[in-house]
Structure 1
């Protein structure tokens, strides 16, 4: 039932569209309206040539098409050529169109919403070229071509778009956002031409776009709608600003700006506005779709749209007096910069976008474009810092950004100016070494010179993964502690991106504990891209579909950690997802398929030279075999990959078969990268289980993970080191460290320290690093848990470090986000507080120090105290 959504949505009758169109036509004639009543007004912002609405329209054209001065610059020639080349290709496709097509190859417009949206996109690309004022552009000002665009708009409206009883098939996004984006831009670009040749068409189209905004309210944004949040809200409101500019409609612009400004508000999970959880949080997290970590896809879309709004409102009274640019700079520093490594957007924050052929460099280029423009709307140190970041990314990236991919020629020129400015030093927005705990979206990122580590977790708050629309077909374990270890000096697309997910088994993603079974994708299970059961409340975009199919959350709340300076800890209780729980409770239909997960308690300790991982209680409640993958990496088929290691008894390791490894080293001579793996002794399990190492060559299609990808077949070497538990095996414990860039000599030294595992049970996991004088622990059970001299009233995450100045610093966090207070006691000495964060109380005891932390409503934030 592909069209089931249409039956559930109220249809907008033609009479309502005509009623909407009449006042819009009046506004198109230049009559300004009062923003409160919509009635004609002579005292508000005028739509005349000297008014703010005219400035708004001119700004929009300049943003999209550039200016004569900008487009004449040699650095912009490539962008101009791309614009004109695309337009000429579209005109040729228009000339060759067959029956029922506006462009050759884009048929079935009455049933294919994708082809209809593309048809509008192609018209926009033609219109854009006619407004791009470059001497090298033969289409600039071509009125005949502009008339063809207007005729194309008319034809699409009359045959496929205008009749809303036939429209709104397929994906809601195309009807409410995708088509409107293209049409709104055309209406501004060809504003004068439409006024001269089809003065009614702008109002007619805006009325139709309002009619298709069915997830809104009365043809406008509804801030209480779950479809009008975050990046989607920014898209819709930017479109409506442009529509207002095209119509000369002040009320529409004012309302759209006010609606968009709501996305600038930091999300407070304890005091939600309109029930919305989508947006940026205080710790830099970004969430879309209510529970998906999404900085790298929807987040970049939001960033682009808000900066675009900043540009088109520039110099008008619509630009808010509040520091809009300052809020966005905060997003860049706290939200985007940590999840970009050497110009590559990290996989852990891309939702279903991880399965797309578009790679992390292109995603980060979108951020670079926004930062370039943001710098132009900043001043002083803020502008210098943003420009320095642009240069820093450009120098660090292994695949240089292509500025022709920027939306605006003006941005291309600004980018060239920044790179040529010798007074601006290339500089990251963050230090070279730091840890960022994005606890609001269950992600942790750890940066060190030469490498970065990203960890993806899940909980009752955050989804295990996102699948949708045939994208990310095999996502099942992406939020179960999957990690991504990025190494410097290599093209990251050779190590990660869609090739990684296509080549590596979904059950053997790096860091994942998974049951040994064969799962089926959603299309394989149901013969459709979703579970279609309207009687049970499952339609294409229903809330049940979202909750149980597209992005299910976990069922345990423990997922979080603490940070102390540049160090961190993270922890996770691996659990089933909500679909499995609901199925067992009898709340889902019999034909709905849910999968049970394996269980484990895990900790990650993020240090200078290593990532230490502890796992306890690793088991399968259904008695299946279980695999825990220490790491999986890919390499080109021809790369020189070598594996060396040593056994616990001191002899060299030689494949094949499981073995008690002391250490293992993976090296890729072609990429000049290496990773070491140290297998640690733990209390009660000095030898640990045997590890299995594999290196195989596989060939896969990119369509295996995303139906929208081209059927490109890739061949990769896939390296994995993992622990295998047979069916029915008792729960086991694991302890190991990842050592980026390690040499064999470095790995041999770990036999004598500096790492010590203090505890590794389902109740508490802890390590000590002698060289750093650091103790780090996570407790999972209620009540008091002990780790060396540390006693924790769990659940809790704690870091204790003694500094060279004799000051001991303690950081504490609640990894469940549900506790009111956490108490930690340090035994051995009675210390006094030098300083402490608000909410921290230090009490001196005989031979001990008690630290009480008020974690209520802290949402996983770390609290610190300095003791002497």
Structure 2
């Protein structure tokens, strides 16, 4: 596949799978305009059809050895005895089957059988060091991915990592299949038709190469292990990953273009002194075949696509390191320049993938993915940038400012109490080993690396913020999450540096307009609030690769409350929460199909390109979704909502006034379902700090039964220590349904790839309001981290007034600060009060100063 203005000659070995006597060659055109010429097309016989049998790696005695001073040579036949010719010991020495150069010069190696019979004199030449610039960068990459030079033998975290890697290598060596005629290397990775097995196989060899480089490992410079790694790489190259292979069947392009080549270049980097340039060229030629263009994925398949975001960075971790290993200056320049698009902000409203100036990050076409693919981007880039800065092609000051913008505007607002908000993590929420706390550490790891390339003052400020966030993590857990001595050393240095003072997060309200999310942190009350919406530009949820099979309503106005229960979302929340009753959502009550790969295949058969939509993954028909802020304590959000199958609609709005968040719903109606409800909350009850339930100021005993009350004006969840209280004030007496129930589930229910089938159980308190009449409404105020005394006072003072709540207008008036928020759903004159008349649909936020209404913010949205 070739794109752009280029010439390309491609040669391919075609091996028919069946008995054929005719071949038809078809030329395919991708979308686009221009001229294309196919020239010099020929078919020629290449010999007998290969049998398809597994090829074995063979070794023969070297004819001569040419060795740069920076390399070592692993002797081809370990059973032979090699001796340096007399008088030449100052040029090379032989140690345990390895030739180590000492100085430039020529000599002979005398080769004997075990019985002492001389069979050859091998000419050996030691040349000067190879390209010192490239070699230095390769060494730096080795330090980045492992960091053996940073190893501190007295550091418990480093000791633990070394033991973990040693134990893993030992286990994999013991289970290795050494029969070259077999079709795999490990029994549990035997199906190379699943390309993930190929990637995992290469990664095990990479892990072995790490321990060869670790001075305290029992495998350090182990010649036998080095020989094994080289042989197995050669065997995989012969049989599975080479230029004559194709991405076929159920194989995933990702494994061929990112997963496997990353493991290959890292292994070659770790064992660089032991590979000849010819061996490196052979391995990387396969990478060049599957990944010929550093700006494009699926180049060897139909429907190639532009490399962007986290995947583009992963591409860089393949192509840049490949260029270093092959000492290819042109390829290095091309691969580094391919990253330039990362530093270009997407235009507001463009529906582009990548970062926006408002802090949004979009990936997979239209999914909010800061905490997943954004993490991949910043983690990978943070490894590459120190390398680039040491090269002639380092980033300029403008690009470093862009990186700082990502950190400050995209990541820090989503990091609350040591967690990375789940609303930004897409299908990653269904991964047991990727909790919100672990995702935070992943982001912080990349941010810490990047801080070291920023100007000193900026570096110190960002590291101060990092230190404050890390305080929410246990040090042992934090360091055990790191997979290199380099990173452990960076974290240890930060924690020990008394000159870097923790900088606690200040009150901050971030409106991520381009991904339809809102994040709020209230410093005085120390709580975080997140709001997850979707629109005609963003997807409600993504299920893919059998992950996040029950994420149905996570983008339908779900809210997250981060109080002092630090394990609320990170401790088995997602397999046990009732996915039909997500907090803040208005939904039809009824079961849904798990969005598995098998379900999607069935729908694809029936509905073709509409399969995802039929499964419930959809954008809204309406663009009337957005949020505005007046300051860091005042905001308004709205969503002209329709559910996934367009049978339920509601006008949903939220107002933030300091430590209070108002929820409004109007025009709630369904054309299909009888039972519709709004989930006021579904809160996990921490057994170590359980909640008592107070309704209208009176304690209500709630065990496993369902309780319905028709006169509710206030609800208080009163935690045992009083620090996690949550209050709810209702605009008028409301009928609510309460339950406290044990809920059970498995990680494998929401992620079919999980091997954990254990049933886990958590207790949840669920509060919901049923909607049994057309155009129903709801209106309530959330008060997080409120004391019982404060809540009792708030019950009587009614400082926030719901002026209007219907399908045309939703108006709130905060009497305390005289803020007015207005959601106007239609164009045309709308009277707000005696002084305000609005003509255009949109969101408006006013503050009355004296007798004047001052417009603080507005967003004109298209009306119905």
TM-score range with shorter-chain normalisation? 0.7 to 0.9
Q: 1:553 aligned to 619, 635, 645, which one? A: 619
The CA deviation string for residues 326-350 of structure 1, in whole angstroms up to 9 with x for no partner, is: 2212101000001110110111111
> Cα gap change, 1:182/1:551 in structure 2, threshold over 3 Å: closer, same or farther?
farther
Partner of 1:801: 847
Partner of 2:514: 440
Q: Are the counterparts in 2 of residues 55 and 316 from structure 1 also a CA contact under 8 Å?
A: no
Q: Structure 2: how far apart are the matches of 1:360 and 1:191? A: 37
Q: Structure 2: how far apart are the matches of 1:752 and 1:700? A: 42
Q: Are the counterparts in 2 of residues 514 and 626 from structure 1 also a CA contact under 8 Å?
A: yes
> Cα gap change, 1:191/1:292 in structure 2, threshold over 3 Å: closer, same or farther?
same
The CA deviation string for residues 135-175 of structure 1, in whole angstroms up to 9 with x for no partner, is: x2222222321221111112222233335247463332222
Partner of 2:729: 678
Q: Structure 1: how far apart are the matches of 2:788 and 2:744? A: 31
Once the two structures are TM-superposed, the CA of residue 277 in structure 1 deviates from its matched residue by 1.2
Q: Structure 2: how far apart are the matches of 1:382 and 1:761? A: 48
> Cα gap change, 1:98/1:768 in structure 2, threshold over 3 Å: closer, same or farther?
farther
Q: Structure 2: how far apart are the matches of 1:150 and 1:772? A: 71
Partner of 1:424: 500
> Cα gap change, 1:258/1:558 in structure 2, threshold over 3 Å: closer, same or farther?
same
Q: 1:412 aligned to 471, 485, 488, which one? A: 488
Once the two structures are TM-superposed, the CA of residue 205 in structure 1 deviates from its matched residue by 3.0
Q: Are the counterparts in 2 of residues 176 and 213 from structure 1 also a CA contact under 8 Å?
A: no
Extract unaligned runs of 5+ from structure 1.
1-10, 20-27, 31-46, 539-543, 578-594, 682-686, 820-868
Partner of 2:316: 237
The CA deviation string for residues 298-322 of structure 1, in whole angstroms up to 9 with x for no partner, is: 1100011111110222321022334
Q: 1:260 aligned to 339, 358, 361, which one? A: 339
Partner of 2:261: 180
Query: How high is the TM-score relative to the length of structure 2?
Result: 0.79
Once the two structures are TM-superposed, the CA of residue 243 in structure 1 deviates from its matched residue by 0.8
> Cα gap change, 1:216/1:502 in structure 2, threshold over 3 Å: closer, same or farther?
closer
> Cα gap change, 1:528/1:736 in structure 2, threshold over 3 Å: closer, same or farther?
closer
> Cα gap change, 1:810/1:238 in structure 2, threshold over 3 Å: closer, same or farther?
same
Query: How high is the TM-score relative to the length of structure 1?
Result: 0.78
Partner of 2:804: 759
What secondary structure, in the 3-state scheme, does the structure 2 residue paired with 1:680 have? strand
Once the two structures are TM-superposed, the CA of residue 502 in structure 1 deviates from its matched residue by 2.1
Once the two structures are TM-superposed, the CA of residue 513 in structure 1 deviates from its matched residue by 0.5
What secondary structure, in the 3-state scheme, does the structure 1 residue paired with 2:443 have? helix
Partner of 2:387: 312
Q: 1:141 aligned to 221, 226, 230, which one? A: 221
Partner of 2:692: 642
Q: Are the counterparts in 2 of residues 637 and 716 from structure 1 also a CA contact under 8 Å?
A: no
Q: Are the counterparts in 2 of residues 646 and 661 from structure 1 also a CA contact under 8 Å?
A: yes
Once the two structures are TM-superposed, the CA of residue 236 in structure 1 deviates from its matched residue by 1.1
The CA deviation string for residues 104-163 of structure 1, in whole angstroms up to 9 with x for no partner, is: 34233332222221111111111122123x3x2222222321221111112222233335
What secondary structure, in the 3-state scheme, does the structure 2 residue paired with 1:660 have? strand
Partner of 1:706: 751
Partner of 1:511: 584
Q: Are the counterparts in 2 of residues 12 and 164 from structure 1 also a CA contact under 8 Å?
A: no
Q: 1:277 aligned to 352, 355, 359, which one? A: 352
Once the two structures are TM-superposed, the CA of residue 367 in structure 1 deviates from its matched residue by 1.3
Partner of 1:457: 533
Count of residue correspondences: 734
Once the two structures are TM-superposed, the CA of residue 70 in structure 1 deviates from its matched residue by 4.4
Q: Would you say 1:160 and 2:160 are equivalent positions?
A: no
Partner of 2:328: 249
Partner of 1:660: 711
The CA deviation string for residues 405-428 of structure 1, in whole angstroms up to 9 with x for no partner, is: 334322221221111111111014
Give the alignment of 1:662-811 within 5 angstroms: 662-669=713-720, 672-681=723-732, 687=733, 689-709=734-754, 710-726=756-772, 729-749=773-793, 750-788=795-833, 789-802=835-848, 809-811=854-856
Q: Would you say 1:90 and 2:172 are equivalent positions?
A: yes
Partner of 2:636: 569
Give the alignment of 1:325-344 within 5 angstroms: 325-344=400-419
> Cα gap change, 1:815/1:113 in structure 2, threshold over 3 Å: closer, same or farther?
farther
Q: 2:649 aligned to 570, 590, 599, which one? A: 599
Once the two structures are TM-superposed, the CA of residue 216 in structure 1 deviates from its matched residue by 3.6
Partner of 2:22: none
| Structure 1, 452-461 or 407-416: larger mean CA deviation | 407-416
Q: 1:189 aligned to 270, 283, 292, which one? A: 270
What secondary structure, in the 3-state scheme, does the structure 1 residue paired with 2:674 have? coil
Alignment root-mean-square deviation, CA: 3.3
> Cα gap change, 1:204/1:743 in structure 2, threshold over 3 Å: closer, same or farther?
same
Q: Structure 1: how far apart are the matches of 2:595 and 2:457? A: 50
Q: Structure 1: how far apart are the matches of 2:193 and 2:514? A: 40
Answer 1 or 2: which has greater helix percent: 1
> Cα gap change, 1:117/1:199 in structure 2, threshold over 3 Å: closer, same or farther?
closer
Q: 2:857 aligned to 800, 809, 812, which one? A: 812
What secondary structure, in the 3-state scheme, does the structure 2 residue paired with 1:618 have? strand
> Cα gap change, 1:534/1:631 in structure 2, threshold over 3 Å: closer, same or farther?
closer
What secondary structure, in the 3-state scheme, does the structure 2 residue paired with 1:658 have? strand
> Cα gap change, 1:691/1:473 in structure 2, threshold over 3 Å: closer, same or farther?
same
Q: Structure 1: how far apart are the matches of 2:480 and 2:312? A: 27
Q: 2:372 aligned to 274, 284, 297, which one? A: 297
Q: Structure 2: how far apart are the matches of 1:264 and 1:701? A: 40
Partner of 1:846: none
Partner of 2:192: 110
Q: Structure 1: how far apart are the matches of 2:717 and 2:753? A: 34
Q: Are the counterparts in 1 of residues 310 and 376 from structure 2 also a CA contact under 8 Å?
A: yes
The CA deviation string for residues 507-562 of structure 1, in whole angstroms up to 9 with x for no partner, is: 20000100122221233xx8355446479755xxxxx6666658421211111011
Once the two structures are TM-superposed, the CA of residue 448 in structure 1 deviates from its matched residue by 0.6
Give the alignment of 1:457-476 within 5 angstroms: 457-476=533-552
> Cα gap change, 1:200/1:232 in structure 2, threshold over 3 Å: closer, same or farther?
closer
> Cα gap change, 1:464/1:203 in structure 2, threshold over 3 Å: closer, same or farther?
closer
Q: Are the counterparts in 2 of residues 101 and 107 from structure 1 also a CA contact under 8 Å?
A: no
What secondary structure, in the 3-state scheme, does the structure 1 residue paired with 2:190 have? coil
What secondary structure, in the 3-state scheme, does the structure 1 residue paired with 2:829 have? strand
Partner of 1:121: 203
Q: Structure 1: how far apart are the matches of 2:588 and 2:159? A: 55
Q: Over alpha carbons, which structure has the higher Rg?
A: 2
Q: Structure 2: how far apart are the matches of 1:507 and 1:532? A: 22
Q: Structure 2: how far apart are the matches of 1:354 and 1:705? A: 9
Q: Would you say 1:346 and 2:421 are equivalent positions?
A: yes
| Structure 1, 527-536 or 338-347: larger mean CA deviation | 527-536
Once the two structures are TM-superposed, the CA of residue 197 in structure 1 deviates from its matched residue by 8.5
> Cα gap change, 1:208/1:799 in structure 2, threshold over 3 Å: closer, same or farther?
same
Partner of 1:829: none
Once the two structures are TM-superposed, the CA of residue 56 in structure 1 deviates from its matched residue by 2.0
The CA deviation string for residues 766-822 of structure 1, in whole angstroms up to 9 with x for no partner, is: 211222332222211122333334333332212223579x99753223263x59xxx
What secondary structure, in the 3-state scheme, does the structure 2 residue paired with 1:502 have? coil
Q: 2:575 aligned to 497, 502, 526, which one? A: 502
Q: Would you say 1:390 and 2:471 are equivalent positions?
A: no
Q: Are the counterparts in 2 of residues 344 and 397 from structure 1 also a CA contact under 8 Å?
A: no
> Cα gap change, 1:201/1:267 in structure 2, threshold over 3 Å: closer, same or farther?
same
Partner of 1:54: 135
Q: Structure 2: how far apart are the matches of 1:809 and 1:661? A: 36
Extract unaligned runs of 5+ from structure 2.
1-9, 15-40, 45-65, 69-127
Partner of 1:833: none
Q: Structure 1: how far apart are the matches of 2:294 and 2:172? A: 28
Q: Are the counterparts in 2 of residues 65 and 409 from structure 1 also a CA contact under 8 Å?
A: yes
Once the two structures are TM-superposed, the CA of residue 227 in structure 1 deviates from its matched residue by 5.3
Q: Are the counterparts in 2 of residues 59 and 313 from structure 1 also a CA contact under 8 Å?
A: no
| Structure 1, 361-370 or 198-207: larger mean CA deviation | 198-207
Q: Structure 1: how far apart are the matches of 2:280 and 2:667? A: 71
Partner of 1:527: 598
Once the two structures are TM-superposed, the CA of residue 71 in structure 1 deviates from its matched residue by 4.8
Structure with the greater relative contact order (CA < 8 A, sep ≥ 6): 1 or 2?
Answer: 1
